[in-house]
Structure 1
Amino acid sequence: MGEWRMVPLEWFLILSAILFSIGAYGIMIERNGLKVLMCLEILLNSANINLAAFSRENLMGQEFALFSIAIAAAEVAVGLALLIMLFRYMDTIDLEKFDLLRW
């Protein structure tokens, strides 16, 4: 089929684990809204790598990965729209300064 089948599954899993760790660390540490959205995208991409890596026999995992990419695109569009709206009202995208939804 393709030459990518020669790459061991463990390499894909290690890459995915590294990307997941970077994304999780960024979400927990960062205060900037754009950086949090980028780290969330890294998390979703690590899940897509796992889905594609485990779908060597059938294409089901790749179909789920494409569906996940479409959902990630919608999530980014909504997230950026919210950040732009909050920036217009608060003049910052620091997530710790947003207390609009608190009681």
Structure 2
Amino acid sequence: MAHYRASESKREQFRRYLEKSGVLDSLTSVLVTLYEETDKPNNALDFIKQCLGASGPDPAELEALRTELSELQQKYDLLVKENKELRSRLLQHESLPEDGAAES
């Protein structure tokens, strides 16, 4: 009988730990959301993961982000190149003596 009480005590401690850390509230909230869904998802576990933020981005979304990153990287490279060219031209113009200064 002592073994049963020790086991029950551990369960109770674990339950309090889950309550204190907010796990029970989060799980309850997700399960209520799933219950209230009119169109139940085919995969309830994926739904729960998504609600808890455990699943990664959608593969299509991930590919779109990769494409956007590639485009932005190309744009960045062009802007860096343009910036270097403009700085070089600016330095050339600054190093030339001004027309009015040469006549004085």
Q: Same fold (TM over 0.5)?
A: no
Larger radius of gyration: 2
Q: TM-score, normalised by structure 2?
A: 0.34
Greater RCO structure (CA 8 Å; 6+ sep): 1
Per the normalisation by structure 1, the TM-score is 0.34
Q: Which has the higher helix share?
A: 2
